[in-house]
Amino acid sequence: MYAAGIIVEFNPFHMGHHVHIAETREITQCKYVIAVMSGNFVQRGEPAICDKWQRTKMALLNGVDVVIEIPVQYVISGADYFARGSVGLLHATGVVDALSFGSESGNLDEIVEAGNILAEEPAKYKEALRAGLDKGMSFAAAKGNALEYCLNNFTKGLLTMPNNGLAMEYCKALKLLGSTMNVYTTHRQQGGPSATKIRHGLLAGNDMTGLVPKEVHQILQDICKFVKLDDFSDIFKYLLYTSIFELGEGLENRFRRLCGEFSKISDLLDAVKTKRYTYTRLQRAVLCILLGIDNMEIYEKNGGLQYIRLLGFRKDAACLVGEMTRKASLPVVTSGAAMDRLISEGGLAAKMLMQELTAGDIYRIASGDGGGHYRECGMGVVVVDSRI
């Protein structure tokens, strides 16, 4: 096996990620591990606690050979789009033979079967989904009920655990792409603090010694400020009042009506949340407003992903980067000059990239990091010495 792909956020990198990378190498017998990673904002609808460059370095110092950025449009648009973007990038590289993901069940056959149902949407599934929606269920709950109706004798917890759910979406995306990538799963087990607990500890000022790899601990110690969603509260309120957008079902009006009563985004979300709107969905809606991303369909109807953006690599994987550049079915962006060219050409690729660069600018406002407009155009990829 030449290269295995993993789909990650590393928010931040912790011991469980280290184990997943090691297990991926063991079960796939790959030479390289390529990670596609969320940038400065993550799938649950929050800013990453530290920026993409710092998290890229964490990954490269702990077993990953190449890091590629998942476009922000796909990151904050829900599990289906997140999976399409992530799997689509790995497929487009032209060098990835396998996809490895963690799951709570560890039962690959069941996960693949569920992914196939989601991809094919047989009549039995559609009828059950519609029945759930008609009862007022959220889409996620109705989808879970429909899958339960279609699957036979599945493992307890298969349809309720978050990593199982993402794994099914990855398998769905592979099926729809017609990809020949082999699929592997590692069994996610309890042990060690989760990324959520580590983030809470970092925001509280706690010492993370022994809870993350030593290289990660050093990077975290050097960060002046960890970023959270409430850091964007003033920007969000301004945009909420001055921008024209639609979130569906009149949700934007609910935000505007309640916004004046709360100074922090987190308090506003508590007030807006209902049985129909999950907290994560509302957080993603906030990010869509903050980042000016209001229409994924324009991408999906015109080819979806537009480029592959390299964030970093280990020196001994430079040959893999070169091979990817030659074999990829999308342009591989490796420098500021390449970004400038893409923007100057205009079109959908330029729009996608400019939204990404704007997201980076907005993130830096909250993080307190300086820099001008589209600062990322002047930042090189992270390169880690292979001897480290």
pLDDT tens sequence across 100-157? 999 988 899 999 999 999 999 999 999 999 999 999 887 888 998 999 999 988 877 7
So what's the pLDDT on residue 313? 98
Phi/psi of residue 249, nearest 5 degrees: 60, 25
Tens digit of pLDDT for each residue in 5-26? 999 999 999 999 999 999 999 9
Q: How confident is the model at residue 190 (pLDDT cuts 50, 70, 90)?
A: low
So what's the pLDDT on residue 164? 92
Asked whether the predicted pLDDT for residue 246 surpasses 90, the reply is no
Q: How large is the angle between the packed helices 52-60 and 214-221, nearest 10 degrees?
A: 160
Best mean pLDDT range from 132-136, 290-294, 355-359: 355-359
Long-range contacts of 116-123 (CB under 8 A, 24+ apart): 116/171, 116/172, 116/175, 117/147, 117/150, 117/151, 118/143, 118/147, 118/168, 118/169, 118/171, 118/172, 119/171, 119/172, 119/175, 119/176, 120/175, 122/150
Q: How confident is the model at residue 298 (pLDDT cuts 50, 70, 90)?
A: confident
Nearest-angstrom CA–CA distance, 24 and 319: 21
- Section 71-82 average pLDDT: 93
- What percentage of the chain has pLDDT greater than the value 90? 72
Residue 202 has which token pair? 């970092």
**Alpha carbon separation from 126 to 109, 165, 289 (Å, rounded):** 22, 18, 31
Nearest-angstrom CA–CA distance, 232 and 239: 11
> Which of 60-64, 188-192, 226-230, 311-315 has the least mean pLDDT?
188-192
Best mean pLDDT range from 1-10, 159-168, 367-376: 1-10
Q: Name the residue with tokens 């606690």.
A: 49
Nearest-angstrom CA–CA distance, 237 and 315: 44
The reply to whether omega before 12 is within 30° of 0 (cis) is yes
Strands 46-47 and 66-70: unpaired
Residue 86 has which token pair? 């992530």
Query: DSSP character for 372?
Result: -
So what's the pLDDT on residue 67? 98
Residue 273 has which token pair? 């949340």
> Which of 21-35, 265-279, 298-312, 313-327 has the least mean pLDDT?
265-279
Tens digit of pLDDT for each residue in 84-94? 999 999 999 99
